[in-house]
Amino acid sequence: MKVMGLIGGMSWESSLEYYRIMNEEVRERLGGQHSAKILMFSVDFHEIEACQVEDRWEDATALLTDAARRLERGGADYLLICTNTMHKVADGVQRAVSIPLLHIGDATAEEVKRLGLSSVGLLGTRYTMEQDFLKGYLSSRHGLEVIVPGEEARTAVHDIIYDELCLGKLVDESKERLLSIVAGLAADGAEGVILGCTELPLLLRPDDSGRSL
């Protein structure tokens, strides 16, 4: 079994989900007492968030590169960045190590295509919804049409993520707001919606909407 190297802590609330899901998947596939071989380096999200807000993406790259190198030295066979937003610096992280970095966009596109969808809405942080590092990746590399909500909705989603979900707060009113935004994306032609922030599934589940989440 290969050793997974996880760069987590962005936020740790969702990194818990990565750890849980990976172990459940290994147990499902291998049975018995099997569990995943995982190395995780969990960063201080306060430092990462400051880099995001201040547009210091080179500094953010350095922080994640340091984490990636530590995981490589520790024996990881490949890397995952446990956040959508920080895939903005994925290319820089990959150049710093010799083991492969599995891109979240490839896994997302594979699932979207498995579901038979070609047009999808995208929810996430403002960086993810407004910049091209994920939606452009999904479009150019995988031929998907990616739809994002309007300015007001983008602000609402971003604030829910940072002010609530990253702090472990699950608010019913925010869930209803997100479902309303999902409905708006469906009205704009989305056949399904990508929860492009690892905190969003803490509040929304696939059976919460008539759309594929």
Residue 128: active-site member: no
Task: Find, among 196, 195, 203, 194, the residue nearest to 167 by Cα.
Answer: 203
In angstroms, the CA 134 to CA 141 distance is 10
Catalytic residue among 51, 82, 166, 197: 197
In angstroms, the CA 6 to CA 102 distance is 10
What is the DSSP-derived secondary structure letter of residue 42? E
In angstroms, the CA 166 to CA 172 distance is 15
Q: Among the residues of the chain, which ranges form H helices?
A: 12-30, 45-53, 57-74, 90-96, 104-114, 126-130, 132-142, 151-163, 172-187
In angstroms, the CA 156 to CA 129 distance is 12
Residue 125: active-site member: no
Catalytic residue among 61, 65, 83, 128: 83
Catalytic residues: 83, 197
